[in-house]
Amino acid sequence: MSRRVAVGADHAGVDLKDELAALLRERGFDVEDRGTSGHGSVDYPDFAHAVCADVTSGHSELGLLVCGTGLGMSMAANRHLGIRAALCAEPFSARMARMHNDANVLCMGARVVGAGLAEEILSVFLATAFEGGRHARRVAKIEPASDPTAD
């Protein structure tokens, strides 16, 4: 059984999203493409919400969101309970986002990273597992229902 990744982008990120979706398919992932599919102006939150719904429902294991800077997508994604979206512009942050923060959505800016670097960031994100341990306690404190003062 292959892993499923939901992908989404706005008009600024559609080309990079399509390149990364093709890479995911080449590597044996099932890809759930939530759009957009063209260069006409669209609202990034619509696509962030669709990808996050796939992840929180369990339909997709991970999400990938691309807009011009990655900022809007990461802000919209992190409004969803259970989503830990990480905006990454280099591989080290992608590794730490997975290893220490159990990030389940990767956000990137198409105007910030080129295709080669984006592929490297995505590869590291996919290959890195959550360490758990002390990090699990900290991640649990991210959710709004958690008491931030509890040990």
Q: Domain 4-140 sits in which CATH superfamily?
A: Sugar-phosphate isomerase, RpiB/LacA/LacB (3.40.1400.10)
% of the chain exceeding 70 in pLDDT: 94
Domain spans, the chain: 4-140
Q: Is the pLDDT of residue 15 over 50?
A: yes
Which positions are catalytic?
67, 100
Average pLDDT, integer, range 122-144: 92
What pLDDT does 151 receive? Answer: 52
**Residue 21 · residue 4 · CB < 8 Å:** no
More confident residue, 32 or 140: 32
Dist CA 13 CA 33 (whole Å): 13
Stated pTM of the model: 0.93
Strands (E), the chain: 4-9, 30-33, 62-67, 85-87, 105-109
CA distances from 30 to 21, 47, 68, 90 (A): 9, 18, 25, 24
Dist CA 126 CA 36 (whole Å): 23
Residue 128's pLDDT band, with cuts at 50, 70 and 90, is very high
**Residue 84 · residue 105 · CB < 8 Å:** yes
Q: 66-93: per-residue pLDDT in tens? A: 999 999 999 999 999 999 999 999 999 9
The DSSP secondary structure of 106-133, one letter per residue, reads: EEEETTTS-HHHHHHHHHHHHHPPP--T
Dist CA 39 CA 3 (whole Å): 28
What pLDDT does 143 receive? Answer: 81
Dist CA 145 CA 105 (whole Å): 20
